A and B are shown apart, each in its own frame.
Chain A
Amino acid sequence: MTALQHEETGPARAFSRGAKAALLVLAVGITCRLLGAQFDWLVGWPDALTVPMTDWVGAAVGWFLSVFKPMARAFSQLLSYPMEWVGAALRSAPWPLVVGAVTAIGWLIGGFRLAALGFIGLGFVVISGYWIEGMNTLALVTVSVPLAVFLGMAIGILAFEVPRLKGAVNGLLDVMQTVPAFAYLTPLIVLFGFGPVVGLIASAIYAAPPMARNVLLGLERVDEEIREAAVMSGGTRRQQLFLIEIPAASQQIMVGFNQCLMAALSMVIIAAVIGGFEDIGWEVLLTMRKAQFGPAFLAGSVIVVFAVVIDRLSAALAEQRVAQSKRVALAIFAVGAAVALWSVLANWNPSGVAMLDGLAETVDTGVGTFTANNGAALDAVKNTSMFYGLLPLRIGLADAVLPFTWGFKWTAAHSMGFFAIVAVISGVLALRGQVTAGAVVAIAALFLEIGVAQAPWPLVVIGAAALGWVSRGWSLVRLVVILLGLILLSGLWERALLSLYLSGASVAACAVVGGALGFLSATSTRVWAVVRPFCDMLQTIPMFVFLIPVLMFFQIGEFSAFLAICMYAVVPMIRYTRQGLISTPEDMIEAATASGAGKWQTMIEVRAPYAAPTILLGLNQTILYAFAMLVIAALIGTTGLGQSIYLALGQADVGLGVTAGAAMAILALVADRLVQGFADKRRKALGL
């Protein structure tokens, strides 16, 4: 675009693409704000123009599912056998045998360190008293992961072998990963009936995409000469693939295996909401509902322990390892078996151990005392954030400012004053040549005054389209308008706005906090040494567990949901910001230093611009994480699409479940494409 290169000072005033887009959006916003009172259809999408999409989808999907139902039921029956066998085996195996086996595997993979991790981790599960529940969860994972691996390998190899399919497969994987976890469950319940097999299948579907992506990536990254060497050795295509390319890609594939395991575990625990299987996720849900925070905390810890053990063991598989003595592993296992034999003879029941009940009680009473003593402070935190942050964002200053909280009532006069100040600021910015910045400030002010959840639909749609136009061009505009149009037509718009508001608020908080932490981690290794373990931990913990601590201190409600989302979604922002800032090429830093730049000057002038695309990718990840968690957070009280999906699950309402899930996926996809567009543009501008 040549307009980008034009000076903005000339009399011709050739505005940049960004400025044009921002001014257009501002004009639309002002129009809507001024005429909204007279014309309702400028604010809310008229009901007359919605179509009963949920019913249609319900009927269509219902019909589709009914066709496959007999097959699915048979398949479900088939799957229930291995699941019962594995479950029965794990449950009835004496716990020392299982602990010994895991410790021995830990030794084989990573020597003493991982053996100790396996032993301590499983030991904790034993004394927690949740052994049986833990084994049930493990059984689900054990059966679902091979399915997911097989599915992922097949998809990855197919996409690699048939390049024409690659685009379609990548699109499918995008959708599979953006459709919220809960949304899978409703159609699956209809298809397979209630019961643990649904959790199993949902987890296999949910865990397959990371596997497929990494298989594809690994195969694509195999060195061209290695490929050619296999060809010149006279291998058939199948020999090339299975003897050379897949083994050569094994490290990347193991990364996929690790992600696949973690996704499967996460989903198995989420699937506990269906119930019917005495697993650890169900235990957490049950205790949370009864507000028994001690047991919930303990059961949550068991999940975290499982996650950490599984993650570290499988992550080590993707690294280069020194071979460990098999004899030691065998010896460890033998000790486990001997103790197992003894425990069977002594009739020791692991579920009877429960040495940590005392701990659970202590936590319970501790939290109770803490909240009782600091109730006022906690409430103050919550209320301040709600009344001065979240609420105005949701319903706008005009509605949120009340005498009860702010000490005065927002009137039309206040609005006038507010807009006058904004107009001055924007005007000054515009006069100094920063037209885009001025317009953006004005648009932000408009949103704040009206409230995101009450934003007029033309403003949102045209705003998103304008971002698409600036970041990529007309193709993205088309995609954004069509996708958002679908939500409008479906009648889920208001709920979508509510979801948009909560995830937007969380993403904004994550961007600020995560960006700052990432920045500090990049400047100081000491800060990173502290932040890093937290990041590792937060990324390992299954989504579900985030609900426990926020619930302990802030009860059910939007603020708790907000906190849980932030905790889950902040990590990519921290990591990518740091990564971007520290990965500036050494010669650029040296050139800056040689030019006499100080540490901060280098940071602002060289590192930050270079890091911009990476930081944008981090923001993108944070957005996707926030949307994913939003649905889980529906369990502890959010409104919007997440709640709809959750309700649909309870009523096995396929239409609502699928439509709301799709709407959620649309929001995530649109956000993803917009941010990716900007990241690509920055990368291109930097010549990367």
Chain B
Amino acid sequence: MEILVCVKRVPDTAENEIEVKGDGTDIERDDLVYSVNEWDNYAVEEAIQIRDKVGGSVTVVTVGDEESEEVLRREMAMGADNGILLSDDAFENSDGKGVAAILKAEIEKGKYDLILTGAQADDGAGQVGGMLAAMMDLPYASLVNLIDVVDDSTLKIGREIEGGNQEMSEIGLPCVLSIQTGINEPRYVGIRGIRKVASVDIPVHGVADLGLPADAVGETGAKVKRMDYFVPEMGDGAEILEGSTEEIIDKLIEHLKAKGGLK
């Protein structure tokens, strides 16, 4: 099975303190460290496991600047066979549809049976997977937490629904799936693994290579424009109880009784 996984380089929320810039144009990026978007990591692990079971290859692709190459290498160190970097100045500030259009152009150059994305990105809106499927007219399922390969043309997929229940569906290939965390346990990639793939060639494709009209992507092509970042003002309605543990308990019981939570 030929599998393509779309990944993204994001500032890891666990290892950064995200602060909004004073002028509201962006977040402070001076001290940020980046990693592979967590959901994407699960998608790549799933792709590798499927490939190891039924054969084929795994390709990872990302839209980003040249530094995004590091996340491709990390995923290749995990076991992905190929990496493709989609990078061009003209791609900068693309909206979700723009990113989907760039990915679509690359995907149409190859022949993939299965396209995976993360369910969402730490710094994203969870929209590219769905748009990509629609633009390519492929079946789409989101928030997938289980994949069983039935045969060459069918997958059985699962999704968690309310209350921890599981919903099972069947989907025909080729298709696009967005992957939820917890679908597997992604393997560890150490420095040694990354060094092993350090010299593997990763092709870079830009506007010209993809045959995209420059005004369909990037800032000019964006239909959704970001306006502002700000920290919401603290609202009313929250009260921090103070005092000794006993006093706090008493006050809490009092509040609960007053609001009808305790009878």
- Do they bind each other? no
